[in-house]
Structure 1
Amino acid sequence: MRLRSLLKQVGIFSIVGLLAFSLVGCGQSKKEVLVVGLDDTFAPMGFKDENGEIVGFDIDLAKAVGEKMGKEMKFQSIDWSMKEAELNAKNIDFIWNGYSITDERKEQVAFGTPYLKNRQIIITLADSPINTKADLKDKVVGAQTGSTAVDAIETEPEVLATFKDGKPVTYETNNDVLMDLEAGRLDAVVADEIIVKYYISKKGAEKYKILDEDFGEEEYGVGMRKEDTALVEAFNKAYAELKQEGKLAEISNTWFGEDITQ
């Protein structure tokens, strides 16, 4: 009797254990609301409009992907310099806001299918004497903290060393960087081409100059936790379907006037 009782208890505990394991393994698929972390000043990807509503290309894309996946997308503003920490602490499920794919970031997150190409460009005011990277010598150059603009600059230490104080001046948001350029506190800015072109289109492109030289090309991707393999697969499947159906082109045309997706 004792042996039979013991075996029965072992069987019960085994079943409970298997159930617990299966629930952990399908955690993301059970969530009905997925949280997108973003910098809400990053127009046109994700930003607050005049009514305080978060809008943008990435917002429309996330909603379309969520609809395909049968999930509701919630948008949460975060400190962009802490984005990977927010993701891995499970405060958010996606980093989705003009998030550039780099080897360093691949070590921390899993990326979905790349969806936009971008360059790290150099922008000045129209009347600036700066026309090349060599002209940045002894100049005050700005960039956003925790951005790939800073990373891109650091890949060219010979150029970086010529900046005033040997480093860029960093700001919490790209808006802050570009506003200081306008105010004359910066001589040049390094930032995402997609963001800069949208910004100057609203401010008056004739006031600015984009240099022919840049700090390299990159791609935007959506970051997810490495262990959330089912979520990555679901995202990629939804993205491919939206592209095939022409929905990506439709969203791109709304925000950029042309299809720049890939």
Structure 2
Amino acid sequence: MGCGKDTSADNPSAVSTPKIVVGLDDNYPPMGFKDKNNTITGFDVDIAKEAAKRLGREVEFKAIDWDSKEAELKSKRIDVLWNGLDITEKRKENMAFSEPYMENRQIVFVRKDSVDTIHSVADLQGKVIGTQSGGTAEEYLDNHAELKNNLKEVKKYTDYISAFMDLENGRLDAIVSDEITGRYYLSKHPESLAALDVVVGPVSDFGIGFRKDDTALRTEIQKVMDAMKEDGTLARISEKWFGKDIMKK
């Protein structure tokens, strides 16, 4: 059940239930994932919890099929998409977004023994590339046939963890991943993987996704996000997960 519609004509910021249901991919560290105790945690999870606390609302985190995220939102099974969601023109057709709170690049990750073989996007020609189904990198490759057709194969995964495991095991030549996720995984496997400063596609912004008609919830959450940015809360959460403040200024 979603928060959905405003039920009070006298209070345009009111919503029908205090619970906010956050849809996320629970295999997307460090943005949202399950820890060793099977509890959903992560960077965006911490921000959402703090925002809900300030709004005096309960928050529920619901793992969804990220490839069907827009259908989940439209059907009101969730209220917001809050999990490293790139703001794109295509997605704006079907949902509303918060103001951007973080920048994200799509870069190339390889095994350490392949570092010297890839120096540019052109060097991906003839290689087997992995990426996440429903993600920004997949969308970019699908829309740029001149690049995709020069690749040997594009393997699509439900989550990046599986893709990075295949990269380590030699089933992929490279991964095109958002930099934040890739570098977090890299920090756990520095002996075998490397990040290349090879950017695929334009730099994007992360935002929180809402149903287009759910203006009340968007307004409330944006107000809280602005306050958290102003008082340094977003910076502190960023430092916890990334070791520095990488929030959009």
Give the alignment's TM-score, normalised by structure 1.
0.87
Q: Which one of 203, 206, 213 corresponds to residue 198 of structure 2?
A: 213
Flag the 1:183–1:242 CA change in 2: closer, same or farther, 3 A.
same
Corresponding residue for residue 135 of structure 2: 147
Q: Residue 126 of structure 1: CA displacement? A: 1.1
Q: 1:224 aligns with which of 204, 210, 214?
A: 210
Q: Which runs of 5+ in 2 are unaligned?
A: none
Within 2, Cα distance between the matches of 1:28 and 1:84? 24
Per-residue CA shift, 1:138-176, capped at 9, x if unaligned? Answer: 1111111010011122343322111015xx110111111
Aligned-pair CA distance for 1:27: 9.5
Q: What is the CA-CA distance between 1:39 and the residue it aligns to? A: 0.5
For residues 79-228 of structure 1, the aligned pairs below 5 Å read: 79-128=65-114, 129-165=117-153, 168-204=154-190, 206-215=191-200, 216-228=202-214
Find the aligned partners of 1:154 and 1:22 in 2 and give their Cα distance.
Answer: 38
- Residue range with higher mean Cα deviation, 184-193 or 23-32: 23-32
CA contact (8 A) 2:24 2:62 kept: yes
Tell me the secondary structure at the aligned position of residue 71 of structure 1.
Answer: coil
CA distance in 1, matches of 2:208, 2:6: 26
Q: How far did residue 136 of structure 1 move?
A: 1.4
Range with greater deviation from structure 2 (87-96 or 144-153) = 144-153
Match of 1:39 among 25, 38, 53: 25
Alignment of 1:23 with 2:7, yes or no, is yes
Task: Specify the code of the residue in structure 2 equivalent to 1:23.
Answer: T
SS at match of 2:38: coil
Return the alpha-carbon distance in structure 2 between the equivalents of residues 79 and 57 of structure 1: 19
1:249 corresponds in structure 2 to 235
What is the TM-score of this pair, normalised by structure 2? 0.91
Cα pair distance change 1:24/1:180, threshold 3 Å:
farther
* Superposition RMSD in Å: 1.7
4+ runs deviating over 4 angstroms: 24-28
Distance in 2 between residues matched to 1:175 and 1:238, nearest whole Å: 32
For 1:130 and 1:256, locate their aligned partners in 2 and report how far apart those are by CA, in whole Å.
26
Q: Secondary structure of 2:176's match?
A: strand
Residue correspondences, number: 239
Q: Name the CA distance, whole Å, in 2 between partners of 1:22 and 1:221.
A: 22
Change beyond 3 A, Cα 1:126–1:101: same
Higher helix residue share: 1
Check conservation: 1:120, 1:152, Cα contact below 8 A: no
How far, CA to CA, are the matches of 1:68 and 1:34 in structure 2? 12
Q: Which runs of 5+ in 1 are unaligned?
A: 1-20
